[in-house]
Chains A and B, each alone.
Chain A
Amino acid sequence: MAAKRETDSRTQAERKSERELVVTRTFDAPPRIVFEAWTKPELLQRWWTPKSFGIVFLSCELDVRTGGGYRFVFRHGDSKPMEFFGRYLEVTPPSRLVWTNEEAGDGGSITTVTFEEQGGKTLLVMHDLYPSKEALDAAIASGSTMGTDEMFAQLDELLAAR
């Protein structure tokens, strides 16, 4: 358990401002490799939905270029498929990716991921910028950023553990 917590703490997350969430993590490989794992659908599918989430990919389409679109379709148990989609606003290999999150309508965030070389390793910073304080508050209130079904799965676990 202690070891698990140690690896777990390598991922930091905070609400940086009224409109921003920031997640950081370091990976033991240069940016070109980490970037590749974010931009090839067959690689991204291998890590985006860990088993513990209880969701599986039905499809994963990535058109990784400025102006290109992406669409993820997931299923959680017997629920109806969930879609997540948007457009890439900026693609600069191997250092920067920017995309929109449009499944939640105009309250969706813009995600910027930067891959910074640090002595052969990669410092990854993921930055989610919401259109307003209210939009981020609402995402938190409704659990929409997590994918509501995933949040329910976590609630289910917590409730079952009572």
Chain B
Amino acid sequence: MVQYSPTRLDSSFAALSDATRRGVLEQLGRADASITELAQKFHMTLTGMKKHVGVLEQAGLVATEKVGRVRTCKLGPRSLDDETAWIEAYRQRWAARFDELDNVVAELKHKEKVDGRKKRDR
């Protein structure tokens, strides 16, 4: 069973509760980017973007590295740590759907049987 640490959940919950920060993660999933590039992409001031990246970094979702005068951001270690938990949640979600789908399928199967019988009786 996957163990969830409440502190980690709190920090990722806060980090992901903002649409811009979710956008930043998706963006970094495509390519590493500097804070300046991210600020431009999301039409934001440098200070505003620094704050967002700071929150993501604290949650371990983003890692940054300063080379010269440029701070480059990439997906952080937490992103992959959580893969197992994410896949289990994903599986459970489909399992719940498929349990409902079982009911629909059983009903259709029954209906087909009844309709078939009616046709034969005609």
Contact = CB atoms under 8 A, between A and B. Distances in A.
A73 interface: no
Contact count band on A: 35 or more
Determine the interface band of chain B, counting residues with CB < 8 A from chain A.
35 or more
Interface in A44-80: 46-48, 50, 52-53
Q: Main secondary structure on chain B at its contact with chain A?
A: helix
B8 to A, nearest CB: 11
A107 B23 CA distance: 11
A110 interface: no
B40 to A, nearest CB: 17
Interface string B9-43: 11011001100001001101111000000000000
B13 A29 contact: no
Contact of B10 (A8, A27, A152, A159): A159
B10 to A, nearest CB: 7
B100 interface: yes
Nearest to A105: B26
Interface of A is mostly: helix
Given A141-B61, A155-B13, A162-B6, 13 more contacts: A11-B94, A15-B83, A25-B94, A34-B105, A47-B100, A50-B100, A105-B26, A107-B29, A126-B94, A137-B79, A140-B80, A141-B82, A144-B22
Interface of B: 4, 6, 9-10, 12-13, 16-17, 22, 25-26, 28-31, 61, 75, 78-80, 82-83, 86-106, 108-109, 112
16 contacts: A8-B92, A10-B95, A11-B94, A13-B88, A13-B90, A25-B94, A27-B98, A27-B105, A34-B105, A107-B30, A132-B30, A134-B29, A134-B30, A140-B80, A143-B22, A146-B86
